[in-house]
Amino acid sequence: MLLEHSGHGAGFWEDLAIALVKAGRQVVRLAPFDRSATLIPGNVGTYACESLQAVLGQLPMRPVILAAGDDAAIAIDAISQHAELMASGIVLVDSKSVDARKLDLLPERLPLLMVSGVLVPVSDSMEQIARRIPHAEAVEISASTPPSCAEGFDAFSAVLIDFLERRLPRATPEYRQGSDARTLRDALGCFATGVTVMTAKDAASQPVGLTANSFTSVSLDPPLLLTCIAKSSASSEVFQMAEHFAVNVLHIGQQPTSIRFSRRNEDRFGATPWEPGLHGTPVLTGSLATFECSRHAVHDGGDHIILIGQVERARFEPRRDPLLYFRGKYRRLHFS
């Protein structure tokens, strides 16, 4: 939970939230407290403290609370009564005004990280507080890399993510046979692939094709490759029966082609340059590589068929970058 402090700017919190999400964390962002909205005059922070307690009471899990500057005092006050029931960890950033006695009262088991020098110079008082509390971890971000620059921000987020991983490790998602297929898909999506469009001719000599990333080379001698096609696919029967088919490996500029061949109700061949190859098998013009194959074998693969092809001709374009697919998204990397 990020208690966003206006002193650190909206961009800082936005970037921090993105970095945490990328590290596999869920983030709750609380807008900066309106200090003018204090209910009890003179008792600055009471309103914010009660609001925070109300939010914490609604959450289904105990968050790690990250507070900066004088919001640290609000966070500590909010959880002080039942700290371990309300939070699973505390991170204080540039919080020199925090009351060391209150920090002392936090249970030792509650992971506590104090980071200084993030957006303001390292203060002696924060260092002293950190030294007084033996169970606190204290880290100084080097003054030469203030997080306002990208390198400094990376240093701060690395410290934070390292602390979270060590002291509050995430439960790694786990799939067990019979449990939800989504987790299995996500695990399989960790394998980065290229993207191909499989093409063949149907019985009426019309071109058919679909986007597939289940492409793998199998053997050099004989030259074999394979791909897996869902039995539910409109063209799976054509591929089972076709004597010949082609695998078109897509380059970085062919993402629209990949999208077109993966969606229903698209004029796949009408909107894509193609030409007849060996045996009249359609091949997509200008692909990164094209493998024209004869059908070698078809195996059952659960809800897919495993189509093995013997390569009759392979052509490729050495100067283009591949279209990539990773974790359910198209990715771009430039090599050439």
Ligand X SMILES: Cc1cc2nc3c(=O)[nH]c(=O)nc-3n(C[C@H](O)[C@H](O)[C@H](O)COP(=O)(O)O)c2cc1C
Minimum Å distance from CB 320 to ligand X?
Answer: 18
* CB of 213 or CB of 290, closer to ligand X: 213
Residue 305 contacts ligand X per CB under 6 A? no
Minimum Å distance from CB 26 to ligand X?
Answer: 27
- Bridge partners (DSSP) of residue 194 are 324
Residue 240 contacts ligand X per CB under 6 A? no
- CB under 6 A: which stretch of 8-16, 81-89, 120-128, 205-213 binds ligand X? 205-213
- CB under 6 A: which stretch of 16-24, 123-131, 143-151, 228-236 binds ligand X? 228-236
**Three-state DSSP class for 74?**
helix
Minimum Å distance from CB 335 to ligand X?
Answer: 20
Minimum Å distance from CB 302 to ligand X?
Answer: 12
Q: Which position has the token pair 């490729």?
A: 316
Residue 323 contacts ligand X per CB under 6 A? no
Whole-angstrom distance, CA of residue 79 vs CA of residue 81: 6
Residue 298 contacts ligand X per CB under 6 A? no
Using CA atoms, how far residue 44 sits from 8, 83, 102, 271, in Å, is: 20, 21, 17, 64
**Cα–chain center distance at 199:** 32
Minimum Å distance from CB 291 to ligand X?
Answer: 15
Q: Which position has the token pair 């507080």?
A: 129
Residue 287 contacts ligand X per CB under 6 A? no
Residue 213 contacts ligand X per CB under 6 A? yes
The amino acid sitting at 99 is: D
Minimum Å distance from CB 43 to ligand X?
Answer: 57
Q: What tokens were used for 115?
A: 């980071």
- Bridge partners (DSSP) of residue 311 are 293
120 CB neighbour count, 10 Å cutoff = 16
Whole-angstrom distance, CA of residue 75 vs CA of residue 169: 22
Binding mask 252-271 for ligand X (x = CB under 6 A): ----------x-x-------
Residue 228 contacts ligand X per CB under 6 A? yes
**Three-state DSSP class for 285?**
coil
Residue 120 contacts ligand X per CB under 6 A? no
- Pairing verdict, β 274-276 and 282-284: antiparallel
Which residues here bind ligand X, judged by CB under 6 A? 195, 210-214, 228-230, 233-235, 262, 264, 325
